[in-house]
Structure 1
Amino acid sequence: MKHIITFLATFFITTTTFAQIGINTVIPDISAALDITSTTGGLLVPRMTETQRDAISAAKGLVLFNTTTNTLQINEGDATTANWVSLSAAATSATYNIGDVVNGGVVFYIFESDEPGFVSGEIHGLVCAFSDYATSVEWGCYGQDLPNVPNVSSNPPIGLGAEIGDGVSNTNAILNDCPTAPAALAARSLGAQWFLPSVKDLNQMYINKTTLEGVSGFSAFSNYYWSSTEYDTNSAWIQNFSAGNQANYYKYYTVNVRAVRAF
């Protein structure tokens, strides 16, 4: 017992009945689960690359230092769909342009002030994968009513489920209602942060097609791509990358998939 007391005293660690921990302090602040006092050192959080970060299922509120971007980050999303927000002052000065390589993809869209994902003083947007999923696939779920997936029957497609940034919620809803949906699974196969783009996401990729295809290592687009935007029980929206138009296709047709993620 004497040795245990001596050990604890040496490291100035104290605990309370409320499971508070104090380091170099006798009485931890009542608002803190962990209270560290030091005039010679700081708190060093885990450091990892962006690739290492994206390989974990990060809990909401997880904090780490991203060595790829040299920024302190916090996950404001959840373990299924992370949303990494930079806490470092340096992050506010970062600039991105269409065609830049970020988060393992190529930037094809920058969020505007009235769009989900926009953060004042920061630049965020969407990147697409360097290449298509290995094979063309069905959208899937033909003839099934997917209750959590909005139907977009207007032409041109507008509204919930069709807008910029709707791809992530669409993909999550598709896989919740129809877990075997091939197109959504193909996009998600790149990792938890990747999703099947909405029809307007795809249109922005088409608009910036020339710039994207000029990036080193980027595979040229095929003719047709599935979006995550559902038309009705039997059909979903596609983007034509040759003519530029959008149309609804039966879900049992096989079409290409190019995954997307936010940054």
Structure 2
Amino acid sequence: MVTTKKFFFNAFPLFWAGVLLFCSCNLNSNFENQNGPVLSSAEVTEITQITAMTGGFITDDGGSNVIARGVCWSTDQNPTIDDNKTEDGIGVGSFTSQISGLEPNTKYYVRAYAINNAGTGYSSVMSFTTSSFGTLIVDVTNPITGRTWMDRNLGASRAANSSTDTEAYGDLYQWGRGSDGHEKRDSPTISAFSSGDSPGHGNFIEAHTNEDIYDWRSPQNSNLWQGLNGINNPCPQGYRLPTAAELNAELASWSSKDANGAFASPLKLTKTGVRNPDGSHAGVGRDGGYWSSSVSYWIGSQSLSFNNNMAFEAHPQGSPVRGFGRAVRCIKDQP
């Protein structure tokens, strides 16, 4: 009996050591088969001055359950979960994220993340630019035409003090786009066209490669800036893009048909320059170009233009293509 008992107590720790070794090997084997989750980002949409919408799609959990997911963002080019982040549930599949607490007129970088036992997986990085706070609304009325306008271009910080007042130049919009950040003069460019009315980012689309139509949107949509309820009307409530006829009526009231007459008018129009369809700038301080809501006979849209020597009325023939960036001056709608 003594011998038996002695053998039993000596074997007991050896037995449990074997069990622990077996479990440890299994745990290590399971851990080695785990990887970080695999995922992609959703496009950034509904961009305002302080918020934006995006999300992600987790295609592979990496071998273990996804215990957290969302998006992270920063003004640095490689955001991580140590920066700002949302928390949008668990598991694989798609999810939607609302980003808040942003600063106006600021470029952000964002990507989706997912966490499992092996670590954190990230999608590729995307960028977007928040909108600036709306242009101050001050009315000015032309006594000759009887029409009331905003006294400054969209994006301008003040009404012009001269025809080359840089603070009064404002933004340069591609025809038909909303205020998504692309209109900023230093917005980045992108070569991919948009198949929808809202590209979902704030990049200036390089329309010069879209040789059939030279438009940021393919196929074209000619109803984006039509009236108060235009799909992408960038003007404040109660205002809209002027028609070609309304711009031409202003031109007819000028004291001279050139840049001097444009600035001497009640609207004090400036030499804004334009942004070419390839994203380059031209004519700043020399030429002025203002979009109308009216489309042309061809693939473009009508625009009022002027320089030091002459002015060109908005006309359905010879109109600029919609991939150009031009200034916008909003007119008050009449019932």
**Could you say which TM-score interval applies, normalised by the shorter chain?**
0.3 to 0.5
Structure-2-length-normalised TM-score: 0.30
Structure-1-length-normalised TM-score: 0.37
